[in-house]
């Protein structure tokens, strides 16, 4: 099911950028991050966690990694840190697959932290 955006509709601000999210059209305003554009469009999950629970962008400042999304085929992109551009192809990530790949970079081998 689709869930309404949790934010008020924005006043018109001229030209829109056009992207797709899982094949469906989604628009953004110039200056929007991907996370802002997605939150403006829908109140639905933009990702499902390792255990399949729904998530949306959380901290909006690059800290929590809850906003991870696939952008033009590139998984694990932080949607709150990337500006929207015309023609971007976005896909929601579901489950552990993408995340585990990220976790295997040296960044995450901090077991002794």
Partner 1 sequence: MVDVDLIIIGAGPAGMAAAATSAQGGARVLMLDEQPQAGGQIYRNLGAETPPPAYLGASYAAGKPLLAGLRTAGITGEFNATVWRIDSDAGMPRVLWSRGGTSHAGQAPHVLLAGGAQERPTPFEGWTLPGVMPAGAAQILMKTAQLLPRDAVLAGSGPLLYLIAAQLIDAGAPPQALVETQTPAMMTRAMRHLPRVLLALPELAKGLALIRKITAAGIPRYTSAAGFHASMRTDGRLDFSFTAKGRAHTLCTPILLTHQGVIPSTHISRAAGIAHAWNPAQQAIAPVTDRWGGSDVEGLHIAGDGAGIGGAEAARAAGELAALDILRRLGRIDKNTRDRQAKAPRRALTRAMAIRPFLDAAYAPPPEILAPDGETIVCRCEEITAAEIRQSLEGGATGPRGVKTATRAGMGPCQGRMCDLTLRGILENCGAAPALPRARTPIKPVALGELAALAPHRKTKA
Binding site for partner 1 (CB under 8 A): 1, 3-8, 10-11, 13, 29, 31-33, 36, 39-40, 43-45, 49-51, 53-66, 68, 76, 81, 83, 99, 102-103, 105-113
Tokens in use for 94?
């579901």
Q: Is 66 in the site for ligand FES (CB under 6 A)?
A: yes
DSSP letter (8 states) at residue 34: H
Select from 62, 89, 97, 108 the one that contacts ligand FES (CB under 6 A): 62
Q: How far is CA 3 from CA 8, 40, 55, 104, in A?
A: 13, 11, 13, 34
* Nearest-angstrom CA–CA distance, 20 and 4: 18
Closest CB to partner 1 among residues 43, 89 = 43
């Amino acid at each position: 099911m689709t869930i309404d955006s949790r934010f008020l509709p924005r006043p018109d601000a001229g030209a829109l950028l056009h992207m797709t999210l899982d094949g469906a059209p989604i628009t953004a305003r110039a200056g929007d991050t991907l996370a802002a554009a997605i939150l403006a469009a829908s109140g639905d999950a933009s990702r499902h966690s390792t255990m399949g629970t729904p998530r949306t962008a959380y901290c909006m400042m690059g800290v929590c990694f809850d906003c991870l999304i696939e952008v033009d085929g590139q998984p694990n992109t932080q949607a709150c840190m990337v500006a929207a551009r015309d023609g971007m192809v976005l896909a929601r990530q579901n489950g552990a697959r993408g995340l585990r790949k990220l976790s295997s970079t040296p960044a995450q081998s901090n077991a002794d932290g």
